[in-house]
Structures are given as C-alpha cells and as structure tokens.
Amino acid sequence: MWEFSAVFKQLFPSISPWQRHCKATGPVIDMPVPASFNDITQDPSLENYIGWVWYEKEVLLPLRWLQGDPAPRVVLRFGSAHYYSIVWVNGVQVVEHEGGHLPFEADISSVVQGSPGSLCRITVALNNTLTPHTLPPGSIQYMADKSRYPKNYFVQNTKFDFFNYAGIHRPVVLYTTPAAYIDDITVTTTSSDSVAMVQYQVSVVGSTANSLSLSLRDQEGKVVATGDGPVGELKVLNPNLWWPYLMHENPGYLYSLEVRMQAQLGGALLEDVYTLPVGIRTVHVTSSQFLINGRPFYFHGVNKHEDADIRGKGLDWPLIVKDFNLLRWLGANSFRTSHYPYAEEIMDLCDAYGIAVIDESPGVGIKLPESFGNRSLQHHLAVMEELVRRDKNRPSVVMWSVANEPASELPPAAHYFKTVIAHTKALDPSRPVTFVTDANYALDHGAPYVDVICVNSYFSWYHDPGHLEVIPLQLTAQFENWYKTYQKPIIQSEYGADSVPGLHSDPPMMFTEEYQQALLREYHSVLDKKRKEYVIGELIWNFADFMTNQGTTRVLGNKKGIFTRQRQPKAAAFVLRDRYWKIANESSCLPPAITSHSLFLK
Ligand code: GCB
C-alpha cells in the first residue's frame, strides 16, 4: 500500500512533495500497488484524471544491504508505471523514465548507504498526459469557448480504443547485487535434428578482472553443456526443442542456464549468479509460411489487453492464471500483446506453457502527421531498445510488432517504418518484424519493410454493418490483393464483432451473441481456404471485453470479447474453441484428446 495524492488540473508539478513527506503537502489516500488508480475510488475526477499524481512509501532496508566493503549495490526497480515517472529516494532524484509498459530501475546505493537504520522514503511523481510525441501518442485540447466550458478546461484526445489507465501498474521491488555484477545476458539458439547450439553473450559491470562460467541444465537438473568467458557457444546433443502448445506433447521445454561470475574488486572476491530459462527453437519466414523448428506454424490465437474490473491495468496474478487456463481451454496457441508490452510475469508463463507471442510495442494510434517526425521516431527507437532488451531471450516471442494501425498511408510513414523496423532487426536479427495495418494494400507505405503482413479488418461491422453476406467476397479480395502485391505470408491480426452477453436474435442482428458467432463463421470459411495457401494465422479481436473511453459506440467499453470482462464465455467462445481444437488436431503433433471441461495442463 502506498500513499497517494493527485494534483488536480495541473499539467506540471508546482509543489515539491519529494522534499518532505507527501502527506505534509496535503491530504493523501491509500493506493494499492500494483493497480491503476482510476477505478479505486468513487471519485469521477480521479477516474478521468489527467496530470501529475504522487505516490509515496517508506521502507526499512536490511542492515546487511548497507554495509560491507565493497557494500552491495541496491537497486529500486519498477515493472512499469504509466506514463512519465520521476522517482526520488529520501528527496534525491534517482531516475526519470518515459513510457508505460516497460521496466526501469535506479541504483540507489549511494543514497541509502549514508543512513543505515533509518527509513527509506520512495516518492514517485507520475504523469499520464499523452502528447503527439509520446508512445502511444495523444493530444491535449483546451476548450476556449467560455460559454460552454469552465476556465482552463481541457481534454485528453487519443486515437486508440482502450482506456488510458494510469498508475504504478507492475511490482516495485528492491534488490541487491554485488558491486560487480552480471548486467545482461543474450542468448540465441540454432538447431538441427540431433544437435543444437546456444550462443551466449554476457556483460559484466563493475570489474574488468572477472571470470565467467556457464552451465546448461535440462529439466531433470542434468548438466548438458558448459562454457566459460563472456562470449561463446554451448553444444547440446539430442536437444529437447521448445515447441508451441499443441504442436508437441511436451510444449514449452525450458533448459536453465546458470551464469556464474567471480570478480576481484578492491581486494575482495565477489560472486554473482544468474539463472536464465532458455528455450531452444528457431523461427523462419518464407513467402507463404511461418516455420518454428522448421515446421509450419499456424497462429490460432487471440488479441488481449491488460484490463480488468477495479485494478484496470494493474498486475493481477489470479487473473493472469485464469487467462492462461482459458487460452488452453480454447485451444489457442498464440496471442499478440495488443497494444503494448505485457507484464514480464505473463511472458514467463508464455515461455513455460508454449504460447507463441507477437510482442507489440506501445506504438498504437500513430495517426497525426507530427507523430511521424524525428522526435517521435527517436523515442520509438528507444522504446524498441527497451522492449528487445527485456524480451530478447524469450522463446515464446516469435515476432516483434512495432505498431498497430498507424496512418501508414501517409508518405512519412515510409521513412518512419523503414527506420523502426531496420533498428529492431539490428537489435535482434533472429526474429521477424512486423506492424499491424488497416490501410489499403495499395497505399501502405510501411508494408514493404515487414516480414509478415498483419492485417485487421471488420467487414460487416464497421463496413457494411449487418451484411454478413459480403464477408466471403471482401475477405477473399483482401487476402488476394495483399498477397499479389507482396508475396509475404499474411496473418488476420484482428476481426470480430461486439456482442452484449445475453442479447439474442435469430436471424442474427448486430450486438447479439448470434451475430458475433455468425460473423466469426463467415470469416472462418474464407480462412479455411486461404490457410492452405499463404494465410498463416488468425487472431480474434478480442479475448475479453475491455474498458475504453466513453463514446456513442461503446457500452461500458468494447464488447468484442469472446469472454466477458469477468472471463465468462459468450457463445462465440465455443465456436472458436471447436475451431481451434479442430485445427490443432489436423496439423497435429499429438494434442491431448478433447474432453468437455478438462484442462490440458502439463
Ligand atoms: C481496431 C483496433 C483495436 C480496436 C478494434 C475495435 O482495429 O486495432 O484497438 O479495439 O479495432 O474494436 O474497434
């Protein structure tokens, strides 16, 4: 629990609570972390709040963290905080970070080691304001007409379809390392039938006089390869490959790589040990296939959101585990982290369960011409660096997505996406890169640079509403046009319809459960033809209903979920479940037999 206060209606902090206790500057309330702050109280002005908020917490650090020669390095780490954070410890600024959805940390040793035994005060100023240069972009609009709006009235405009929840969304942890420590590890893998190579690179900070030794253990704890030094290769005979769920009877196989460092520092011998889960797998894209370990992979999965009642985008373990159980019930083998990177805790389970991930940056709603300028571009490159650094070693991540539905028909999109995609590939040459488009195939300036075409369409929903009969023609044309133009494999990265649970009509009408089912079935009939050619996946929009801004087309949020926001199935969930298990059984690599309500746990 943290203390919390909001500085209402101010875009910039004009008070300085970090210099003394937050509560000395005005009233504070209790605020849980992790959680979005928006839905925690009954106060509508906090729900829709725009501007700076303050979080504060005092902790007592163990004495052994603060002593020693050399003393350990004490680090304060945030899993994520949305959107712009400034952090002080005992009144000293220790880190500033732009962007939600990704971690950041600060070495706070010098601040805390001066005062052993006293409380350590952590203060966070957080601002959720989005501008044309943030990711996602937004804009603040002042309403000048005094006859219609109060003085200084402004609104936050965004071009994306989910609620801009804010707060400290993921765990905040304090940890220590020795003064010389393992700072980063990069692992890539290659394999043939009987032998795999694990290439590694380890970086150490704090000492040049260090030695590194590595050992790779299998799931039985047996050491299968050893190595030493900062760069090298481990050879694994008869490897257990990492396979996606339903593509193998033992999906998500993870080895465990132990990296041990010893370093001399000021006469002391320091030791740091880090254990990294490693999945051995390869990913390749041809003109019509997506290959995992050389075998064609078909994405039958979902798009998700981090979203739930009360906690908003705050990490919630029961919800996470429930969602994975639903994914496996559904027979889904993949998801896209629409429209921002998900929590590391979620990604860990994808690695362990074999759920293939299209890992998306927060580049959603890039529509304004100014959002394609150099300032935005530089920030986008920095975000890709943070994302790749965080997720590069995850076998579940099979492709990066740098954006969702940008205005890619604008001419500056060519340079913008060429640069972002080339940068991402330079950071990680081992994975394909894409962005998700809803632009016309003939006008899209970003598509030439992607490895896989990911296209969203809402035929018979946003276009020709109510006319299910147009889907076969329009969807077939969509696929053929894209394929003729690019000869690249295609994923239907979104399609779907809103349905209000419990609303029925036959013949099907929009917003009923029957219409959502019927629309899905129309899409599926075309997908069944095209998946024999070059369509390599289908991701339903959306896994579950989720909160959006208020608007005339949203009834308490977006209702395109096949599950409700509380994770109860709508009729469409059963259509998709039958389909995904059927596809899994066809392509199959021994999925367990389907029985009505059983879970297929490892
Ligand atoms: C889209 C967007 C997604 C929306 C969805 C919808 O194309 O990518 O963020 O929520 O359509 O339901 O309108």
Range with lowest mean pLDDT among 328-337, 393-402, 582-591:
582-591
Nearest-angstrom CA–CA distance, 118 and 91: 14
- Token code pair at residue 570: 């709508």
Nearest-angstrom CA–CA distance, 601 and 63: 43
**pTM reported for the whole predicted model:** 0.96
Digit-coded pLDDT (tens) for 22-73: 777 788 999 999 999 999 999 999 999 999 999 999 999 999 999 988 999 9
Residue 24: strand, helix, or coil? helix
Atom index in ligand 1 nearest the CA of residue 456 equals: 7
Which class for 70: exposed (0-12), middle (13-18), buried (19 or more C-beta within 10 A)? Answer: middle
Point out the catalytic residue in the list 105, 360, 405, 513. Answer: 405
Cis link prior to 136 (omega < 30° from 0)? yes
Nearest-angstrom CA–CA distance, 313 and 215: 37
Which class for 532: exposed (0-12), middle (13-18), buried (19 or more C-beta within 10 A)? Answer: exposed
Digit-coded pLDDT (tens) for 412-429: 999 999 999 999 999 999
Nearest-angstrom CA–CA distance, 509 and 518: 10
Per-residue confidence band for 114, with pLDDT thresholds at 50, 70 and 90: confident
Give the Cβ contact number of residue 224 at 10 Å: 19
DSSP codes, 403-469: EES--TTSTHHHHHHHHHHHHHHHH-TTS-EEEEE-S-TTT-SSGGG-SSEEEE--BTTTBSTT-GG
Residues forming a β-bridge with 127? 52, 84
Closest C-alpha to ligand 1, atom 2: 161
Is the beta carbon of 404 within 6 A of some atom in ligand 1?
yes
Q: What is the pLDDT of residue 601?
A: 41
Question: Average pLDDT of 105-121?
Answer: 90
Per-residue confidence band for 597, with pLDDT thresholds at 50, 70 and 90: very low
Nearest-angstrom CA–CA distance, 556 and 543: 16
What is the whole-number distance in angstroms between the Cα of residue 560 and the centre of ligand 1?
9
Question: Average pLDDT of 316-336?
Answer: 98
* 160, 494, 548: residue to mutate for ligand 1 pocket, most atoms within 8 A of CB: 494
Give the Cβ contact number of residue 199 at 10 Å: 14
Is 12 a residue whose pLDDT tops 90?
no
Clarify whether 405 is annotated catalytic. yes
Per-residue confidence band for 18, with pLDDT thresholds at 50, 70 and 90: low
- Token code pair at residue 596: 């009505």
Residue with tokens 């021994």: 590
- What is the H or E stretch that residue 582 is in? helix 571-586
List Cβ neighbours of 100 (8 Å cut-off, separation of 6 or more): 80, 81, 82, 83, 166, 169, 340, 362
What is the whole-number distance in angstroms between the Cα of residue 487 and the centre of ligand 1?
26
Cis link prior to 34 (omega < 30° from 0)? yes
Q: What is the pLDDT of residue 118?
A: 81
Q: In the predicted model, what is the mean pLDDT of the chain?
A: 95
* 548, 558, 559, 565: residue to mutate for ligand 1 pocket, most atoms within 8 A of CB: 558
**What single letter denotes the amino acid at residue 418?**
K
Digit-coded pLDDT (tens) for 133-169: 999 999 999 999 999 999 999 999 999 999 999 999 9
Residue with tokens 């979080």: 55
Digit-coded pLDDT (tens) for 367-376: 999 999 999 9
The single-letter DSSP state of residue 544 is B
Q: What is the pLDDT of residue 283?
A: 98
Is the beta carbon of 161 within 6 A of some atom in ligand 1?
yes
What is the whole-number distance in angstroms between the Cα of residue 43 and the centre of ligand 1?
28
What is the whole-number distance in angstroms between the Cα of residue 456 and the centre of ligand 1?
8
Give the Cβ contact number of residue 249 at 10 Å: 11
Is the beta carbon of 164 within 6 A of some atom in ligand 1?
no
Q: What is the pLDDT of residue 24?
A: 78
Digit-coded pLDDT (tens) for 472-525: 999 999 999 999 999 999 999 999 999 999 999 999 999 999 999 999 999 999
Share of the chain above pLDDT 90, in %: 92
**CB 542, CB 552: distance < 8 Å:** no
Q: What is the pLDDT of residue 598?
A: 47
Q: What is the pLDDT of residue 14?
A: 56
Q: Cα torsion at 399, 316, 21, 123 (round to 10°)?
A: -10
DSSP codes, 302-324: EE--S-BTTTBTS--HHHHHHHH
Nearest-angstrom CA–CA distance, 435 and 433: 7
Per-residue confidence band for 16, with pLDDT thresholds at 50, 70 and 90: low
